[in-house]
Amino acid sequence: MDERLNDCFQKVLDAGVPGFSIVVTDRTGDILSRGVGKLAFDDPRLFRVDTPCHVFSLGKSMAAMAALKLWEDGVIDLHAPAAQYLPRIGSLRVLEGYDERGMPKLRPPKRDITVHDMLTHTAGMAYPAFDTNLAEYMERTGMGDIINTYDREECFWCPLVRDPGEKWQYSPGLDITAMMVAHLTEMSYEAFLRKHFLDPLGMKDTTFHIKPEQQKRMAGFYFMSEKTGKYERIANPVPYEPHIEAAGAAMCSTAADYIKYLRMILNKGVTDSGVRVLEPETVELACHDQVSGRGIAATPRYNHLAPGKETGWAYSFQYIKEDVPRSASKGTICWAGASNVFYWADPVKGVAGCLTCQVMPYNSVPVVECYDAIRRATYDYINGR
């Protein structure tokens, strides 16, 4: 299958991206595993499927799975007030604007935030980058922007921008979910993931605490210069040893690791070695549309698998609501991360894929086009074309 993608891979390199990797799997194992290009323009080592990368929002779904593991074990109720499990959630207030003195106008939400709300981005939370009122609040109070200062826990506790359950809005709710998991279990969030997911799955390079050996293997990180129109290397955007284990920002992983997680989802909770980490019913719940039936439209800024079509939102994945030829089946789950990392898992066709890259800003045209081509080639391959 990879031979028909060689031209597509070369276009990404020709666009100035140093390197990337892609792994595609079915329920039994990899059907495509390929590193393309090199680690950095000044490092000729090959970009491999086991090259550690900052994966940003790819980590969010694992926070949801961690919460669902607690639900499965009877520790939490998804529709109970989340403040029962992490009291500080109950202190969040809704930002309505500013008074004549420029002071923020805050009020209690009309109802409690539930765990369900946090897993589905319907808690009323938001990122300052996507809400001008909240951005102004963060600036006035000196809290900073979560996206740029996510290594400070205080930045995640900014006000709500609307009442819980009102609307879908991409948010740091999964980061707070990870804090809730750590609080309830009296373990670090990574220790919980390692016990219940990372070790059973064999995800040896997935961590928030990047060891020196991994640092040596990491890809260089690049940002597109507005002046030159070229990717220029920047300093490591995420601390190797972060102060907080921010689920949606600070995780390091590899395509080879993440595909094991996706394959577990395809196999309804069972790892490659036959260990069950989640019950089938839990995986079904995780991958089911959780917002459309409540009259809420999931409106991600980017919709690569079903462009122009309304999508739903699961726990915590974008949910494709109808078949899209050569791209996704109804029920496919997917999402992405800021450094142009992408994944999808199609439980109907039994295929999944993950692309890792280390360039920003998000939505790099050549990388997205390559990701689209990989999906088309995957469906052509399994359909015998």
pLDDT tens-digit series, residues 78-129 = 999 999 999 999 999 999 999 999 899 999 999 999 999 999 999 999 998 8
- Residue found by looking up tokens 């709710």 in the block: 173
Average confidence score pLDDT of the chain:
95
Instruction: State residue 138 phi and psi, 5-degree precision.
Output: -60, -40
Separation CA 173–CA 171 (nearest Å): 5
Across 192-196, average pLDDT: 99
Q: What is the pLDDT of residue 245?
A: 95
User: What does the longest C-alpha to C-alpha distance in the chain come to?
Assistant: 67
Look up the CATH superfamily of 2-65+187-382.
DD-peptidase/beta-lactamase superfamily (3.40.710.10)
Over residues 161-187, the pLDDT tens digits come to 999 999 999 999 999 999 999 999 999
Q: What is the pLDDT of residue 147?
A: 55
Q: What is the pLDDT of residue 145?
A: 62
Q: What is the pLDDT of residue 3?
A: 80
Over residues 8-54, the pLDDT tens digits come to 999 999 999 999 999 999 999 999 999 999 999 999 999 999 999 99
Check pLDDT > 60 for residue 210. Answer: yes
Sequence-distant (6+) residues with CB within 8 A of 116 are: 78, 79, 122, 290
CB 67 within 8 A of CB 184: no
For the four alpha carbons of 322, 302, 308 and 372, in that order, the dihedral sign comes to: negative
136's tokens: 């102004």
- Burial call 112-142: b when 16+ CB within 10 Å, e when fewer: bbbbbbbbbbbbbbbbbeebebbbbbbeeee
- Residue found by looking up tokens 């207030």 in the block: 93
Separation CA 124–CA 113 (nearest Å): 8
Q: What is the pTM of this model?
A: 0.96
Higher pLDDT, 79 or 292: 79
Distance of CA 327 to the CA centre of its chain: 19
Within the chain, how many helices (H) and strands (E) appear?
Answer: 11, 15
Instruction: State residue 99 phi and psi, 5-degree precision.
Output: -85, -175
Cα-only R_g, the chain: 20
Q: What is the pLDDT of residue 289?
A: 97
Separation CA 220–CA 178 (nearest Å): 28
- Residue found by looking up tokens 């928030």 in the block: 208
Peptide bond into 316 cis (omega under 30): yes
Across 206-220, average pLDDT: 98
CB 328 within 8 A of CB 344: yes
- Residue found by looking up tokens 């102060």 in the block: 243
Across 259-272, average pLDDT: 99
Distance of CA 21 to the CA centre of its chain: 17
Across 150-156, average pLDDT: 74
Higher pLDDT, 254 or 236: 254
Across 222-244, average pLDDT: 93
Q: What is the pLDDT of residue 337?
A: 96
Q: What is the pLDDT of residue 146?
A: 56
Q: What residue spans define the domains of the chain?
A: 2-65+187-382, 76-174
Instruction: State residue 332 phi and psi, 5-degree precision.
Output: -65, 140
For 358, other C-beta atoms within 10 Å of its C-beta total 28
Q: What is the pLDDT of residue 142?
A: 80
**Rounded to the nearest 5 degrees, what angle is found at the Cα of 86, between the Cα atoms of 85 and 91?**
130
